[in-house]
Chains A and B, each alone.
Chain A
Amino acid sequence: MLRGRAALLLLLVALLVGAAGVGAHAFLDRAEPRVGSTVRTAPADVKLWFTERLEPAFSRVEVVNEAGQRVDRADGAVDPLNPALLRASLVPLSPGLYTVIWRVVSVDTHVTEGDFVFRLAP
């Protein structure tokens, strides 16, 4: 009886795990410049790698300085060769603190958002 229940449980777990592959919430896996880092050379762009493939039409990123002014070139987009990579190019930056703000939709339509800072040292 107990063995039967265990088999049923295993079958259910297998079905659930087997259903995987559709997509899930996209969380930020890593970024360049790194989250919370201080860099010594002005980056030419920001790159954000996510844990899931993104919907290009509904995923965006922008970068602002301490005064809240945008310093990205408004070309933030999902990389055509890597659907889990969101990138935007930057204007030449001067030393200071910058905030990267992102909001993405994964291919299963789940929304996630976040922000982080990096500092450009003098």
Chain B
Amino acid sequence: MKTMLRVSLLAAVFVAAGTEPAWAHGLAGKRFFPATLVVDDPFVADELSLPTVFHSKLPGTGDTLPRKETDVSGELAKRLTPDLGLSLGGTWKAIDPAGGKSVTGFDNLELSLKYQFFKSEAHETVLSVGVGWDVGGTGGKKVDAESFDTVTPSVFFGKGFGDLPDGLELLRPLALTGAFGWAVPSRVRNQKISSTADGDVEVEREFNPTLFTWGFSLQYGLQYLQSVVRDVGLPRPFNRMIPLVEVALQTPVDGPRARYTTGTVNPGIIWAGRYFQIGVEAVVPVNADAGKNVGVRAQLHFYLDDLFPETLGRPLFGN
């Protein structure tokens, strides 16, 4: 009787939803896309990244000293509808400049809205568009949080290679995700007025460039290998690991540094469990402008749709 009631309730839920039961985080057909640590994901989901910890020695720029930096950040992503998601993120920074005084504080809040407009189960493909908003003035000046807004419209994609022909079957666990954005500051120049020791007034103007932000991740799903392509006998925990490399780049499109690309290559590994995933990556600068020291980034990431399938883990509307 209890089973009958449960089945009836499930059927009623599915019918009322008008579509299918829940799919949720990062699934397209047989493909599971993990949440990547650097490049924004192509899908919308109910997720919590907490914490993401980053540490590196960073080079000095025109007006900043070389420094050690540690960031601890969190991001909550919530589906408003099955295809529309909102996220809110924040970062606490500890900066230790060479020969200077250490400072700590929060960076600006980050809000983003993402709409997943295409999904092909057969071709393991996901496409989304979104807009990010770095909310100027919400962070601390001590840690160089910008006083102006930056709005970044972006497109995102995810593609699994499960449809490769038979001769290439060992490449089927590969997947590629990526994001392309156009980061537009609300203020083109910052003006800083100061007085010199002999009483003169000095005006410094700092240019805030528009940035083309681009990045991708190349992943090899060992679970996909085991459960779709060939069971090679991988034991736990290796059978749920996803080795990957993420490349995150940015290129100013105007100003004195126009067309100088900087960024990082981030090789690492993600272990995806039932309710959460853990990821660790090295942070390798792509050129001298991006630095010369290798940093590290680690993340604990919760699947809210699995933890709270009846409450927090469901879209607010439409499912």
Query: Which A residues form the contact surface with B (CB < 8 A)?
Result: 9, 12-13, 16-17, 19-20, 22-25, 27-31, 34-37, 51-52, 55, 57-58, 105, 108-116
Q: Which partner residue on chain A sits nearest B8 by CB separation? A: A57
- Say yes or no: A20-B275 contact (C-beta < 8 A), given A12-B50, A25-B27, A35-B226: yes
Q: Does B223 lie within 8 Å of A23, measured CB to CB?
A: no
B contacts, CB < 8 Å to A: 7, 10-11, 13-14, 20-25, 27, 29-30, 32, 48, 50-51, 121, 169, 223, 226-231, 274-276, 300, 302-303, 305-310
Could you give 28 example pairs across A and B, Cβ below 8 Å?
A12-B50, A16-B276, A16-B307, A17-B276, A19-B307, A19-B308, A22-B310, A23-B306, A25-B24, A27-B32, A28-B228, A35-B229, A57-B10, A58-B14, A58-B21, A108-B306, A108-B309, A109-B10, A109-B14, A110-B305, A110-B309, A111-B20, A111-B21, A113-B29, A113-B121, A114-B30, A115-B228, A116-B229
- CB–CB A110/B21 < 8 A: yes
Which listed residue, A24, A29, A34, A36, touches B306 by the CB 8 Å rule? A24
Cβ-closest chain A residue relative to B229: A36
Contacting residues, chain A, for B228 (C-beta < 8 A)? 28, 35, 114-116
Q: Let me know if B307 and A105 touch, CB within 8 A.
A: no
CA distance A105 to B121 in the complex (A): 16
Q: Using Cβ atoms and an 8 Å threshold, which residues of chain A touch B22? A: 108-111
Q: Which residue of A lies closest to B6 (CB)?
A: A55
Nearest first, the 5 closest Cβ-Cβ pairs linking A and B are A36-B230, A24-B306, A28-B227, A108-B309, A24-B274
Main secondary structure of the interface of B (DSSP, over half): mixed
Which residues of chain B have C-beta atoms less than 8 A from A115's C-beta? 30, 228
Q: Which residue of A lies closest to B94 (CB)?
A: A2
* CB-nearest residue of chain A to B308: A19
Q: Closest approach, in angstroms, between the C-beta of A95 and any C-beta of chain B?
A: 18
By a CB distance below 8 angstroms, the chain B residues around A113 are 29-30, 121
| Chain A residues positioned under 8 Å from B20 (CB to CB) | 111
User: Is there an interface contact between A20 and B307, defined as CB atoms closer than 8 Å?
Assistant: yes
- Smallest CB separation, B231 vs chain A (Å): 4
Contact among B11, B300, B306 with A110 in the assembled complex (CB-CB below 8 Å): B306
Residue in B50, B51, B223, B307 whose Cβ sees the most chain A Cβ within 10 Å: B307
